Structures are given as structure tokens and as C-alpha cells.
A = this chain, B = another copy of it.
């Protein structure tokens, strides 16, 4: 599995390496969401000093995987439905704009590459008649390519450098194998078409709908999973 994103340079220092290890552990849930982080304990586990560990923790904080309070300590970020929905809202804004910029700034070569990639994904999908592979790898690849295609360093840094780790964390922890795979593939096709047509406005709109559809899919799932009782319970709490 591809764990590193193309925007970050390779980890050279030990703090970098430990950062990646802990990051992986948090994303995969090996270090539970919401749990407290003990600096001495983790430092001992990874055979490094506390200074080095704290350096790694700072990077984890940078991509919103842990939260620190002064003189109290660090906690792994707590996954919640509200947090997930907020993340989708943010993605819709940022990736929508990235898609618009991609339609303006991508080179013809980049567009050709993306079309080739999509074609390959389509074949793989046909082959496996399938959901899992495309959903995991292909979807991320597609979104990555679009974001990088914006040629906007600010957007790239925010989405690829910070938000995407959180997204992966939610995917792992909430086990998101949504049945939207084939529909998502069609949506991707239309988005690339809009980019190839240099239609930024349409490209943004399609990307926003694509992400909003995933969000609504989750919202529906949640409300279905709730029994009537639970819903009334929440109603009571809210009032």
C-alpha cells in the first residue's frame, strides 16, 4: 500500500521516520482514537529520546492527528460523525476549488496521464467487477492528481499535506467500503472531461457534487442505522 504522498520529501531524520510510523499506527487504529499519549512510554517503545519523540509529535499535530494541551499532554484526535462531516465540508470547498484551478492550470500532458489512469482503473474495475481496489487506491490517486493539477502550492499543502491523513484515518476506522464505486467512476470520468474541456466552473461543480454525494451517503447511512428510539433520545438531548 502506498502510504507516502508525493508532496513530502523522503524521511531523512529519525524524527521523520518515527513520525511516519506513529502516523501509520494512528491511521490504522493501532493507537486508539482518543487515547492519551505518554511521551516516556512511546519514546521507550521506539527507542528514541523524548526530544526526538516530541519533534515527531509536532508533525502529527501539524496534520491534525493529535491534539496537545500545555502542561497536560497529547491525545490522539477523537473520530466522530460530526468531525467526519466537517471534514467532508472542508474537502468540498478545497477540492472543488482545486478542480477549478486544475481545469485552468493543468498541462495537456497531465490531462492525458489522468485520462490514461482513469482508463486503467476502468479496466481493473471491469476485471474485478469490483469495489474494493478502485475504491481504495484509485479514488485516492484520482483526487491526488486533480489536487496536484491545480498547481496551487497552498491548496496542495493544505489538502495533501494535512487533511488527507485524517481522511485516511476515518476511512480505516469507520471501514468505509461504500457501494458508490461504479457511480464514483462515472463521476470521475465527467470531472476529467470538464478539465479537458478547460471548463473550470463545471469542473468545480462536478467535484463538489462528487464529494457532497459521499457525505450525504454517510448521512443517510447514519440516520438509517439509528433506531427510532435513538433518534428520539437525541431529540430529547438537543432540546
- The residues of A with any CB-CB pair to B shorter than 8 Å are 9, 12-13, 16, 51, 54-55, 58, 61-62, 64, 70-71, 83, 86-87, 89-90, 92-94, 96-97, 101, 152-155, 157-158
Contact = CB atoms under 8 A, between A and B. Distances in A.
Given A12-B71, A58-B58, A62-B61, A97 B86 contact: no
A12 B96 CA distance: 38
Contacts of A157: 64
Contact of A155 (B12, B86, B101): B86
A28 B160 CA distance: 29
28 contacts: A12-B70, A12-B71, A13-B70, A13-B71, A16-B70, A51-B51, A54-B55, A55-B58, A58-B62, A61-B62, A62-B62, A83-B154, A86-B152, A86-B153, A86-B154, A87-B154, A89-B97, A89-B101, A89-B155, A90-B97, A90-B152, A90-B154, A92-B97, A93-B93, A93-B94, A93-B96, A93-B97, A93-B155
Taking chain A's interface residues, is the majority helix, strand, or loop, or is none over half, making it mixed?
A: helix
A101 to B, nearest CB: 7
Contacts of A13: 70-71
A158 B83 CA distance: 14
A11 B103 CA distance: 43
Contacts of A51: 51
The listed residue with most B CB atoms (<10 A of its CB), out of A83, A152, A157, is A152
Given A87-B154, A90-B94, A92-B97, 13 more contacts: A62-B62, A64-B157, A83-B153, A86-B152, A86-B155, A89-B101, A90-B97, A90-B155, A90-B158, A93-B93, A93-B94, A93-B97, A94-B94
A70 to B, nearest CB: 5
Contact of A89 (B12, B54, B61, B152): B152
A151 to B, nearest CB: 9
